[in-house]
Amino acid sequence: MLYMKGGGSLNPPTHETVDKGMHYLYQDGKAVFKVAVIGMAEVSAEIMDRNGLTGKDVDWLVPHQANLRIIDACAERMGLDKAKVMVNIERYGNTTAATIPMCLSEWWQSGKLRKGQTIVLASFGAGFTWGSILIKWDADNVGKN
């Protein structure tokens, strides 16, 4: 579903492999999308179930910002209102590993993220891995000493 024909010891870079375009990433977008939605949404819903929570108990979902459709599907599976989902993909695109910390920083600096809020962080990434974590925000609001 996601691979590169060239590289490694099997097809090391040569003029021939480069001329054949073997060092470009190939992706079956629909298949990758499906795995991402299932992985990220299910692991986020599972963490809520394990902790006896519903969408009403979660203040924020902070998803990896790869694709808005994946984000929407994850929120829907969790039973979350879209207003509870941190999204900044429209401003920055997919910033890979920085997407979740960037959202947290933006929301905290704007005063939307408050001490004691329940937050689910969810991601899907390299190697077809996914995960989520449930946290209680413990930083004071911006401007407080």
Integer Cα distance of 71 and 61 in angstroms: 9
* pLDDT digit string, tens, across residues 51-63: 999 999 999 999 9
pTM of structure: 0.80
* pLDDT digit string, tens, across residues 65-106: 988 988 998 999 999 999 999 999 999 998 988 999 999 999
Q: State the architecture of 25-136 in CATH terms.
A: 3-Layer(aba) Sandwich (3.40)
Confidence of residue 144 (pLDDT cuts 50, 70, 90): low
Confidence of residue 47 (pLDDT cuts 50, 70, 90): very high
| Dihedral in degrees, nearest 10, Cα atoms 51, 54, 55, 59 | -50
The domain limits of the chain are 25-136
Integer Cα distance of 80 and 59 in angstroms: 9
- The values of phi and psi at residue 72, to 5°, are -60, -40
